[in-house]
Amino acid sequence: MLRCTRSWLAPLRALTHDRVTDKKRHPLTPQTEIGEPFNPNFGFEHNKLVKFRARNSFHRQQILRRLCTDLVRRDHAIVAGARGPALRVVADSIVTFAKRGDQESRQQLAYFLNDPLLVDKAFDEYPRRFADYHGGYTMMTPLGAVRRKDNVRMWFIEFKNRAMSDNHKGEDYSRGPERFFLPPRVIETERGIVRPPHMQMAFDRWASKFKTAEFHSWWRERHTKMRYWGIRGVPHPAEVEPLWTEKDEEEWHSDLLASAGGGDASYDLDDAAPTSSPGGANPSLGS
């Protein structure tokens, strides 16, 4: 009788055991060993996380990539149903990889996140921000109301220790911004805080695509499809107004300069050097 080998168990054993101590690891424990690949489907493969609705495992991973990218960019996210626990576990693994600081971990996160600038943000901010933490980097809070259309629980997920963040210190999440692509509100005591220029540029680049005519055309086409699908309460595409206009851009820049304490200076958006005006007016922003 031939002797049965267990080589087919090697991939499974590599996922559930630590290579150094040879002890079984819980599937919800963040990945901590250097050289271990980033596996966002780990909890789903071992039935420790509820699989949220998706076409297949690849589509589920793409949804997690989009949610994690948005979470790293905005430092908070609002998700529904089973996506909340899954996003929390994967976000903890992202911080664990960022705290390693080696090139292999950076490459693993570059494969997973959709924006390469957010990989730099994670490796620049998270090691110092979570230096005193050994797990549990995210906080998941259930919102008071459920989603009306399908009665699903909504979750508010955010990273802890925001006071040590250079990019999100002083942000107030009790009320959302007027537009989802605008920066969040800032607590009154933190007015005038200066964000890192490269991360402000990354956020502006992400938000600029929602202020274009192409997005408005897609937005009207989306309303047409939703009316065709039979969704109630969707306005006619001809009645859909743009999410952002030039007047809104001027008012937003005026409020931004006023909050930064530059009310007596005139800024030209095409010129980095500010020019002072006698009456405090801003000719570049229109009157």
Q: Which residue has the tokens 């090139």?
A: 103
Q: Say if 258 falls within a structural domain.
A: no
User: How far are the Cα atoms of 22, 102, 179 from residue 174, in angstroms, in the given order?
Assistant: 45, 36, 15
Please name which of 178, 144, 173 lies closest in space to residue 160, comparing C-alpha atoms.
Answer: 173
When the pLDDT of each residue in the chain is averaged and rounded to a whole number, the result is: 78
Q: Say if 49 falls within a structural domain.
A: yes
**What is the spatial distance between Cα 64 and Cα 82, in angstroms, rounded to a whole number?**
12
Is 73 within 8 Å of 95 (Cβ atoms)?
no
Q: Say if 190 falls within a structural domain.
A: no
Please name which of 267, 273, 272 lies closest in space to residue 254, comparing C-alpha atoms.
Answer: 267
User: Tokens at residue 144, please?
Assistant: 């008071």
Average pLDDT of span 176-189 = 81
Q: Say if 103 falls within a structural domain.
A: yes
Q: Which pLDDT belongs to residue 42?
A: 65
Between 40 and 221, the higher pLDDT residue = 221
Q: Which pLDDT belongs to residue 15?
A: 40
Q: Say if 189 falls within a structural domain.
A: no
Average pLDDT of span 126-143 = 92
pLDDT tens digits along 236-250: 999 998 888 888 888
Is 28 within 8 Å of 48 (Cβ atoms)?
yes
β strands within the chain, DSSP E:
76-80, 138-142, 154-159, 171-172, 185-186, 265-266, 275-276
Q: How confident is the model at residue 84 (pLDDT cuts 50, 70, 90)?
A: very high
**Of 32-46, 63-77, 206-220, which gets the smallest average pLDDT?**
32-46
Can you give the CATH number for the domain in which 160 is found? 3.90.1030.10
Q: Say if 262 falls within a structural domain.
A: no
One-character DSSP codes across 84-139 = HHHHHHHHHHHHHHHHH--HHHHHHHHHHSS-HHHHHHHHHHHHHHTTT-SS--EE
Q: Which pLDDT belongs to residue 154?
A: 92
The torsion angles phi and psi of 108, rounded to 5 degrees, stand at -65, -45
Looking at mean pLDDT, say which of 17-26, 114-123, 269-278 comes out highest.
114-123
Q: Which pLDDT belongs to residue 6?
A: 42
Q: Say if 206 falls within a structural domain.
A: no
Percent of the chain at pLDDT exceeding 90: 30
272 has a pLDDT exceeding 60: no
Q: Say if 61 falls within a structural domain.
A: yes
Q: How confident is the model at residue 144 (pLDDT cuts 50, 70, 90)?
A: confident
Amino acid at 36: E
Please name which of 221, 177, 222 lies closest in space to residue 203, comparing C-alpha atoms.
Answer: 177
Find the domain containing 125 and state its range: 12-164
Percent of the chain at pLDDT exceeding 70: 74
Q: How confident is the model at residue 197 (pLDDT cuts 50, 70, 90)?
A: confident
Q: Which pLDDT belongs to residue 57?
A: 83
Number of structural domains found in the chain: 1
User: Tokens at residue 279, please?
Assistant: 């009456």
Please name which of 106, 112, 120, 107 lies closest in space to residue 87, comparing C-alpha atoms.
Answer: 112
The torsion angles phi and psi of 175, rounded to 5 degrees, stand at -130, 140
